[in-house]
């Protein structure tokens, strides 16, 4: 079975540009999470969805960040405009509530560098 | 509030030594779940184990074992006869239905196994 798929794996962009990160969760999973990982702040939860509906976006750093989940198999995280401090690894994870334990399965991450 | 503490920032051991990674958690919920994840140098986050709050049985999987003690709010992870491939950052995490099943991660323990 395919795991969580993220694209691109690496993104280098200039400050001020729009960046879109993409995620395809594991088929059948009803939860989707976006995280950011940096050396300074560790793993931070940005936003998560349940059945395509955003449940908690309190971790989104500011209005420059937005996330959507138009259907059960696709989600995007957009940064507009990007800033150097947004440089990080962004992970997408999905989970299935049916098992009752909600363990999350992570994608390989997108390494974003904003110059 | 949920909190996970991994006091050991970095650990180095010589191959074949045993090593224990500590995880202490805080929660007021009676139903909660505990997890361990491994992040090797390649960067992906790999799910290792989950435990629910009603199951204090220790678990062994090959060279890995986990000790869950509610009395001390700890969920420690032991690697027996460590190998170079065990070198990674290990994260402990907590989730609970009362907080939307989102994960609260510790800051991670970086393990280096020296050949």
| pLDDT of A27 | 95
- For residues B38-49, give the mean pLDDT: 93
Instruction: Tell me if chain B has a CB within 8 Å of the CB of A106.
Output: yes
Q: How far is CA A115 from the centre of its chain?
A: 21
> Considering chain B, what is the average pLDDT of its residues?
93
Distance from CA of B101 to the nearest CA of A (A): 7
Question: Pick from A22, A77, A20: which is nearest to A54 by CA?
Answer: A77
**Block residue for tokens 């420690």:** B76
The answer to whether the Cβ–Cβ distance between A104 and B103 falls below 8 Å is yes
Give the whole-angstrom CA distance, residue B73 versus residue B23.
8
- Indicate yes or no: CB of A43 within 8 angstroms of CB of B105: yes
Q: Which residues of B touch A102 (CB under 8 A)?
A: 33, 95, 101
pLDDT tens, residue by residue, B70-101: 999 999 999 999 999 999 999 999 998 888 88
Predicted local distance difference test score (pLDDT) of residue B39: 96
Burial class (CB in 10 A: 0-12, 13-18, 19+), A45: buried
pLDDT in tens, B51-78: 989 888 888 889 999 999 999 999 999 9
Closest CA to B63 of B42, B73, B48: B48
Residue showing tokens 């729009």:
A18
Chain B contacts in chain A segment 40-99 (CB below 8 A)? 42-43, 45, 48, 55-56, 89, 91, 93, 95, 97
Asked if B103 and B91 touch (Cβ cutoff 8 Å), the reply is no
Average pLDDT over residues B4-20: 97
B95 contact residues in A (CB cutoff 8 A): 102
Collapse the DSSP code of A97 into the 3-class scheme (helix H, G, I; strand E, B; otherwise coil) and give the result: helix
- To test the contact with chain A by mutation, choose from B59, B94, B96, B102 the residue with the greatest count of A C-beta atoms within 10 A, namely B102
d(CA A30, CA A61) in angstroms, rounded, equals: 24
Residues in chain A with pLDDT values less than 70: 1, 99-101
Closest-CA distance, B88 to chain A, in angstroms, reads 15
The gap from C-alpha B87 to its chain's centroid, in whole angstroms, comes to: 14
Smallest CA–CA distance, residue A106 to chain B, in Å, is: 6
Q: What pLDDT does residue A100 have?
A: 67
Of A1-5, A103-107, B4-8, B42-46, the poorest mean pLDDT is in A1-5
Q: How many H-runs (helices) and E-runs (strands) does chain B carry?
A: 0, 12
pLDDT confidence of residue B72: 95
């Amino acid at each position: 079975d395919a795991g969580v798929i993220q694209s691109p794996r690496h993104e280098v962009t200039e400050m001020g540009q729009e960046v879109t990160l993409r995620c395809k969760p594991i088929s059948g999973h009803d939860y989707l999470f976006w995280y950011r990982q940096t050396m300074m702040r560790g793993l931070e939860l940005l936003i998560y969805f349940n059945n395509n509906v955003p449940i908690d976006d309190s971790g989104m750093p500011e209005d420059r960040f937005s996330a959507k989940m138009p259907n059960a198999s696709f989600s995007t995280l957009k940064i507009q405009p990007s800033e150097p401090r947004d440089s990080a690894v962004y992970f997408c994870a999905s989970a299935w509530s049916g098992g009752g334990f909600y363990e999350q399965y992570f994608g390989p991450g997108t390494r974003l560098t904003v110059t | 509030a949920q909190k996970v503490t991994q006091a050991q920032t970095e650990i180095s051991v010589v191959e074949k030594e045993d090593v224990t990674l500590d995880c202490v958690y805080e929660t007021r919920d009676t139903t909660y779940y505990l997890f361990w994840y491994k992040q090797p140098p390649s960067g992906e986050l790999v799910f290792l184990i989950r435990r629910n709050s009603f199951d204090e049985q220790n678990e062994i999987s090959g060279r890995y074992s986990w000790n869950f003690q509610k009395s001390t709010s700890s969920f420690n992870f032991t690697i027996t006869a460590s190998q170079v491939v065990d070198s990674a950052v290990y994260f402990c995490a907590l989730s609970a239905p009362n907080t939307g099943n989102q994960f609260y991660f510790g800051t991670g323990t970086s393990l280096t196994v020296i050949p």
